[in-house]
A and B are shown apart, each in its own frame.
Chain A
């Protein structure tokens, strides 16, 4: 009989005074076993029809936005475009549940969420167009620049949310991360800081199944990504990312949870990237047409339209009106991207520091002389 085989019983010795932190019951933090759904469930009857119609119009707009941005990329108007086609419910809901003074922290696939915050497409897509690294005024739109290094924006969201609370503002920050991003150290550090500080922040993980080509099974052995919350003492929620009503409900609750001082929330939205990683990627190398077809059936736009039609909440005229608004957006995008962006080479030196260093002044003079010589040669 080894020591390990001994029957375990209560120890007679008492723990010294606790310097090791409180022990908490993990049960209230655990996500549901299955992704939360509303559409096609009995609970859907209680949903506000106007909210559903609004979500529908926004999804139609979002789908058209993704299509137009992809077309612009094929025409050479964008350097690269990581489409969020299939993830529009996540994108739209993330923006819709925030107040104007809340902050959004997007990554590169989240320009639709940025547009849904009220940023013009031409500004939201500036990074991907390639004429500048960033387009919109982050403070005016309470929307941070697109973060390309994965999950590095998550600690920013924590810090901003904490700072807002220190200043007495009931502002919430929402950080968008992908399934691949949850493997990054910054994701871990952000969740840990958020838990310790009790910061009013919501992390939305759009689990679209792939980090470029690597499937989730090679990314994480966690029961679900939402379970990761428990290790940080924060609440985890699991939701169907292709159910716009469920996304809106869960995120609304998460934001209110954070705003009311009950701590951060990690939401995992199970969704699917219907297109390749970007226009430069070939998704047929790592996933089958059958898999994609199956997810087309769960297309968030189709799911919502089926629901609206089945419940007589929208008619052909409503569908046509949504499509018309989407065409207007596409036309605006074509018009804005048709003209060449204005480029000023000397602007390269203007915002490295508040005041250029003497060295940068010298280098700016060098470039100015090159430009003058180019102009003379013309």
Chain B
């Protein structure tokens, strides 16, 4: 596996990076700027993480600030709570989506609630990085899309970058946040490459229109963004001009951008890898319908993973939303009326 280490991005300078390198650079820059930031998790130190996102951090900042922990996710997140109570700003890596579940009680009962139950006296500025989603041929327990669990929990911010630039910018914003952030990294985009120009840290919670269009609006995030952009390209040949919105943040949710983008076309499809029933798409479709009902020419449709346990790698392509399934949904948006 190639190294993720990249030179620290000086603000304003353009560099070509993979998303993995952009995330690594964001961690390094945050650690250089703020001595209270520390990274902790399984294999993050000597190895640099199984995806090399923490590569080189132990060498630069020492084992105390890039802490190899025992293999116990509740212990990792629980310790991070205590560290944050004492004024540190932990960035926790939970190695894979489905291995984050042992930390659930700490996340739901303490991390998400501490600010609220102490009336603001004990905020917990913890960033919880979780590589998530499928598409890399991972065996069981390595490909879950678990965002709905987190988005359903008040007190957490839930972010997921889909571009290299957002990998850097949104992770910096997450670390700077005084609230806990679940930062979901689409692992199949780790090796996507782009030129980025780091700027000042942006506030979290805004969606971005990645592609303007007039026929219908695709609402998506994380690993499904490149699929939607590809679908929009193919659709052009079939006479549809599709807009694509990258949600970036599930909590808080940018109703303003989404509502405007759907009203502009009158048709919408929500696309995500996570299973459909009770998934983020259900919430998004409901919000869009509540806000755009009189602007809609068709029901809001969803293209999601099937309601099945994540399939074995040789079958995962049938599960994941692809270009054809997205275009089939677009075709069902009542164009005849």
Contacts and interface: CB of A to CB of B under 8 A. Distances in A.
Interface of A: 103, 132-134, 137-139, 144-145, 147, 149, 152, 154-164, 166-167, 173, 185-186, 189-190, 192-193, 196, 347, 350-354, 357-359
A158 B123 contact: no
Interface in B205-245: 205
Given A185-B102, A357-B252, A145 B178 contact: no
Contacts of A160: 82-83, 85-86
A162 B252 contact: no
Contact of A133 (B72, B102, B117): B117
A163 B74 contact: no
A351 B79 contact: no
Given A154-B78, A192-B75, A351-B120, A138 B255 contact: no
Contact of B75 (A134, A155, A350): A155
Contacts of A159: 78-86
Contacts of A155: 74-75, 77-79, 81-82, 106
Interface stretch (B108-116, B132-140, B193-201, B322-330): B108-116
Interface residues of B, number: 47
Interface of B: 38, 64, 69-70, 72, 74-75, 77-88, 102, 105-106, 109-110, 113-123, 154-155, 157, 177-179, 205, 251-253, 255-256
A196 B78 contact: no
Nearest to A348: B116
Contact of B70 (A152, A157, A161, A192): A192
A166 B64 contact: yes
Nearest to A192: B70
A139 B116 CA distance: 15
B75 A193 contact: yes
29 contacts: A103-B85, A133-B118, A134-B117, A134-B118, A137-B121, A139-B122, A145-B118, A152-B74, A152-B109, A155-B81, A156-B81, A159-B85, A160-B82, A160-B83, A160-B86, A162-B83, A163-B82, A163-B88, A167-B86, A185-B74, A186-B78, A186-B106, A189-B78, A193-B75, A353-B115, A353-B252, A357-B205, A359-B252, A359-B255
A347 B117 CA distance: 11
Contacts of A166: 38, 64, 88
Contacts of B69: 193
A353 B82 contact: no
Most B C-beta atoms less than 10 A away, residue of A145, A154, A159: A159
Given A133-B117, A163-B83, A186-B105, A354 B123 contact: yes
A137 B81 CA distance: 17
A359 B255 CA distance: 9
Given A144-B85, A156-B81, A163-B87, A354 B117 contact: no
Given A145-B114, A159-B81, 5 more contacts: A152-B78, A158-B79, A163-B88, A192-B72, A196-B70
A198 to B, nearest CB: 12
Contacts of B256: 358
Contacts of A157: 82
B85 A190 contact: no
Nearest to B157: A353
Q: Which DSSP category, helix, strand, loop or mixed, fits chain A's interface? A: helix
- Shortest beta-carbon contacts, A-B, top 5: A159-B82, A155-B78, A189-B75, A159-B79, A160-B82
A184 to B, nearest CB: 9
B106 A152 contact: yes
A173 B252 contact: no
Contacts of A138: 85, 118, 121-122
Given A156-B85, A160-B86, A358-B256, A190 B78 contact: yes
A51 B179 CA distance: 44
B157 A156 contact: no
Given A156-B78, A159-B79, A159-B80, A351 B70 contact: no
B109 A354 contact: no
Contacts of A351: 115-116, 118-120
Contact of A352 (B80, B121, B154, B178): B154
Contacts of A133: 113, 116-118
Contacts of B122: 138-139, 145
A352 B82 contact: no
Contacts of B154: 352
Contact of A354 (B72, B179, B251): B179
Nearest to B203: A355
Contacts of A189: 70, 72, 74-75, 78
A126 to B, nearest CB: 10
B75 A186 contact: yes
A193 B79 contact: yes
Most A C-beta atoms less than 10 A away, residue of B78, B122, B154: B78
B230 to A, nearest CB: 31
A253 to B, nearest CB: 23
Contacts of A144: 85
A163 B253 CA distance: 34
Nearest to A186: B74
A19 to B, nearest CB: 13
Contacts of A156: 78-79, 81-82, 85, 110
Given A155-B74, A189-B75, A350 B120 contact: yes
Given A160-B83, A167-B86, A186-B74, A149 B105 contact: yes
A368 B148 CA distance: 29
Nearest to B72: A189
Nearest to B123: A354
Contacts of B70: 189, 192-193, 196
Nearest to B114: A145
Most B C-beta atoms less than 10 A away, residue of A137, A154, A193: A193
Contacts of B102: 185
Given A155-B75, A185-B74, A193-B70, A354 B106 contact: no
A291 to B, nearest CB: 33
Contact of B253 (A145, A196, A353, A359): A359
